[in-house]
Structure 1
């Protein structure tokens, strides 16, 4: 079992996009809204085609531009992988943007985004290839982020939370050793026990809303949904998100854990070239789409923050190479 995505909160969309697109080199892959609250935006970043396991999403809202309280229970940080040998490049790059960038004794690079989300970058034996490469980034292909490696999970009772993950997901290869929830491909969630006198957690900029794990199909969701009921875990909702189907649980510490399918994927309503360039909503929202588009236009949001990819899909220092053929085409449709 691997990571599917992580969803967090931010109070400043432009600042957030600058960090994850311009600095980290991820692609802006989906420009949408919160399906539970259509008057809140929901934006997605990932590799070039939005592969599950590379995706980080944010709910931007000016009302969230307040300090968070990481108290009794919270997910903390984002852990990313980069190709072996790429850490010096990333340290230099982050410093060039006046961001902290220190490498600890374990060889892990530490920085943070503009919402003070702790970011860890670790070298892995993997690199992006083919259409996973973000051709729209100035980060060279052999240095680009390969995906999410995990996060921290702070809870009052580490044993109870560990039991939740190990018992519910044991058939999917999840194994807990000590305070580490081991996932596939060097991914892990690290458990930390919060003190008894910790304050109540409060959402603010940089808070994690939920951590999502990936499964192949809705049959897997059906199995886990029933298994959770049998084992007595707290179930929240089973829902069609359009780009994937999802089930949500509240683990014993109070944090939201999602399990999502890897299909249909983010090309459900946009081509690979157009990812992130339109007002994106799954088909079940079609009846209200134009009403919502008008409401957002009245707020000054046109969902046109990024332009389509117009390159060849060939690496040239990972930069876009435009097509200008004899027929005048500029798109690789």
Structure 2
């Protein structure tokens, strides 16, 4: 059993329309799937990715308008990473973020690669990372109709930052349970951040881990990451992972059918929610039909389509 890298990341947003505008019109990602939160079908679950939603390129959002705002702190996924092709792309993004009045920092070097930090409309911390020196897991294929030129476009997910109070516990889960290797470390704001990679390695297969003694416990809400998912080859391997992690005694979901992939959730010892998800079957739909107009519903909700669509915000899909 070997994880293949990052699969997707899921985040809480307050407003689907503002979220859609930011991730498609500013960041240039494609809305590859528009469905609903199965716990509250009057709100969206939005999937943004590359041209066809390849594993490792997907950012998903649960729309929860009445949620409290999230609070940054320990025992959380404190930052999402996104990959761009090279250092020149970061210079483009610095100008683009300025043009759209997005709060951001300047380009700087971190762990022998160029990065650029900014925040989305809900205050989520995001780091753009250059793939110029990357030799690991391949990125995705940018959407040709994106407002961002292909040569500068986001290629997929980059490293996620885990911020924990008891760093050694999460370190043990990453290395002893999930099979990550420690590949180095760097200092950030007087905190030592350890870098882990799995499978082929590289920016698309990386988790960063810091011990956070300065901040209070994180509070989940608007602008916070709900969970991160790692890639598993197929259902057979997923079943092996399920049995293995259940035998270790971790609180878990058991097998879950997410239609576009099959998965399994568990909480590591600091409480961070981790999902293991299969590469297939994938987002196999008519993208032209779906883009901005079609709401994908699971079979048990299809009979309520008219009722559900009447409660959903209209999204302008012309990007």
TM-score range, shorter chain: 0.7 to 0.9
Aligned residue in 2 for 1:78: 80
Distance in 2, matches of 1:80 and 1:274, equals 27
Deviation, structure 1 residue 143:
0.8
Aligned residue in 2 for 1:115: 122
Deviations 1:275-320 (A, max 9, x none): 4441112xxx3243131x2232332546x6437xxxxxxxxxxx9x
Distance in 2, matches of 1:18 and 1:92, equals 18
Aligned residue in 1 for 2:173: 164
For residues 205-244 of structure 1, the aligned pairs below 5 Å read 205-244=222-261
Aligned residue in 1 for 2:310: 298
SS state at 1:50 partner: coil
SS state at 1:4 partner: strand
Aligned residue in 2 for 1:3: 6
Give yes or no for contact 1:33–1:43 (8 Å, CA) kept in 2.
Answer: yes
Aligned residue in 2 for 1:325: none
Aligned residue in 1 for 2:267: 250
Deviation, structure 1 residue 225:
0.9
SS state at 2:93 partner: helix
For residues 6-25 of structure 1, the aligned pairs below 5 Å read 6-25=9-28
Deviations 1:210-229 (A, max 9, x none): 00001110111111111112
Q: 1:215 to 1:88 in 2, by over 3 A?
A: same
Distance in 1, matches of 2:23 and 2:96, equals 13
Where in structure 1 are there 5+ consecutive unaligned residues?
A: 308-318, 320-333
Distance in 2, matches of 1:83 and 1:222, equals 35
Deviation, structure 1 residue 32:
0.5
User: Does 2:212 align with 1:194?
Assistant: yes
Deviations 1:20-53 (A, max 9, x none): 1001110011110123443432001000101111
Q: 2:131 aligns with which of 124, 127, 131?
A: 124
User: Does 2:40 align with 1:68?
Assistant: no
Aligned residue in 1 for 2:44: 41
Aligned residue in 2 for 1:312: none
For residues 150-161 of structure 1, the aligned pairs below 5 Å read 150-161=159-170
Aligned residue in 1 for 2:286: 271
Aligned residue in 2 for 1:286: 299
SS state at 1:136 partner: coil
The list of structure 1 runs, each at least 4 consecutive aligned residues, that deviate by more than 4 angstroms after superposition, is none
Q: 1:300 to 1:210 in 2, by over 3 A?
A: closer
For residues 124-143 of structure 1, the aligned pairs below 5 Å read 124-125=131-132, 132-143=141-152
After TM superposition, the score normalised by the length of structure 2 is 0.85
Deviation, structure 1 residue 89:
0.8
Deviation, structure 1 residue 167:
1.8
The structure with the largest alpha-carbon Rg is 1
Compare 258-267 and 101-110 and name the one that shifted more: 101-110
Distance in 2, matches of 1:211 and 1:264, equals 19
SS state at 1:91 partner: helix
After TM superposition, the score normalised by the length of structure 1 is 0.81
Give yes or no for contact 1:164–1:233 (8 Å, CA) kept in 2.
Answer: no
Question: Quick one: higher RCO (CA 8 Å, sep 6+), 1 or 2?
Answer: 2
Q: 1:70 to 1:43 in 2, by over 3 A?
A: same
